[in-house]
Amino acid sequence: MMKLSIMKKVLNSKEHQNIVRTILKDWNLEKSEIHFIRASQNFIYLIIFEDEKYILRLTPMGNKERIQLEIDFVNYLHQNGLSVNVPIRSADSSFINRHTMFNYSIQAVLFHYIEGTHYESDKLSDEQLMEWGKELAILHNHARQFKGGFKNPWSFIKNVENKLPRDDMHLKNKWEQMKICLMSITSELETCFIHFDFELDNLLWQDGCIHIIDFESYQYSWLVGDIAYAARDIADQPAAFDQFLKGYSKERLLSDLELKAIPIFQHLHFFYLYGVIRNSVDLDPTLNHCEWINNLIKKLQLMENDIKEIILKYD
C-alpha cells in the first residue's frame, strides 16, 4: 500500500485528472473518458476511448526493474495460454513510462480491460471452488518454468522484517519464532514466482473461464504460500477449503509437508499485512485532515491493532 501522504496529495488535487490525461498521451489516448477506480498500492483508472476499455495503473515511487519483471512474467503466462490482463506498448513501444506527479516519480502501465464477474467466496459452488484451486495450480505449473528474475525466497522474508517495528519486543519475539519455523520446513518446499494475491478480488469469471488480474504483488517465494494467501478467506471453512485443494490437486499434487505448512504461511501473511499497513500511515492522526483521509486512518489503525492481536495470540 502506498503512503497516505501521497494518496492524499494526488487525490485532493484539482490537477489530478489533467495529469492523468497528459500521461495518456503516451498511448494517444488523451481524449479518453477517465474514471478513477481506486488507490491502494497503485492509482487505478478505467480508460474508455471509442468504445474500447483499458486499465491505467500508476505506481508512485515504483521500481522499474520490478515492474518490468512483472510484465515479462505476465506476457510469458499469456503466451502459454493463461488468460491474464496483458500490458499495451505506448506509442514509443515502451511498456513502462515514467512521469512526475506532484514531485513523485510515477511508473505508468496500460493494460487491456478484461470483462467478467467477481464472486464472493460464499457465492461459489463446489465446482467453482475446485476451478479456483485448479487455476492456481495451472499458474504454478507454468510459473515453475519461468526463467527470469532474481530468485531468492528469503528476500521477501527480509522485506517483511524490515517493515516491522524494532522496539516492540513481543512482536519481535513472535517474528523470531516465525523465522525459526520457516527455516525448519522451507528447505523441502518448492519455490517459483507466485501471484501472491490470487484472491477472488483478482479473478474475473466469464463463460466458464477464469481471467487473472493484478500481478503487481508477485514474489519469488514458496508455492504453498500462494495457496495459503489465495484461500485465506475460506481457511476457516473446511468444506470450501477442501474443494479448493481438491481442484488444485487435479493439476499439481500437494505433498504432506505442503499441507502441514499452509497454516504457517497463512500466519506469515499477517506479519506482511501488519508491516504494510503500519508503514502506509505516515500522516499524523491528531491533525485535521479531510474527512476521507481521517476515516481511512482510523480504519487502518483498527486493522493494524486487530492484526497485531492475532499475531500475538498465535501459538
Query: E strands, the chain, where?
Result: 33-39, 43-49, 52-60, 87-88, 97-101, 104-112, 191-194, 203-206, 209-212, 219-222
Mean pLDDT over 144-151 rounds to 88
Residue 259 has pLDDT above 90, yes or no: yes
User: What confidence tens digit (pLDDT) does each residue in 55-107 have?
Assistant: 999 999 889 999 999 999 999 999 999 999 999 999 999 999 999 988 899 99
Element (H, E) at 294: helix 291-313
Residue 138 has pLDDT above 80, yes or no: yes
Q: Which residues of 35-48 are buried (b: 16+ CB within 10 A; e: fewer)?
A: eeeebebbbbbebe
CA atoms of 296 and 285, how far apart (whole Å)? 10
Q: What is the mean pLDDT of the chain?
A: 94
Output the CA–CA distances (angstroms, integers) from residue 3 to 178, 263, 277, in the order listed: 27, 30, 9
C-alpha cell at 315: 501459538
Other beta carbons within 10 Å of 8: 19
User: What confidence tens digit (pLDDT) does each residue in 230-241 have?
Assistant: 998 898 899 999
Contacts of 225 (CB under 8 A, 6+ apart): 194, 196, 219, 265, 268, 269
pTM for the full model?
A: 0.94
230 neighbors 210 (Cβ within 8 angstroms): no
- Amino acid 282: pLDDT: 92
- Amino acid 6: pLDDT: 94
- Amino acid 315: pLDDT: 72
Query: Which residue from 42, 50, 49 is spatially nearest to 66, judged by alpha carbons?
Result: 42
First to last CA, the chain: 28
- Amino acid 141: pLDDT: 97
Structural domains of the chain in order of their starting residue, each with its CATH number: 4-67+85-112 (3.30.200.20), 121-313 (3.90.1200.10)
Rg of the Cα atoms in the chain: 20
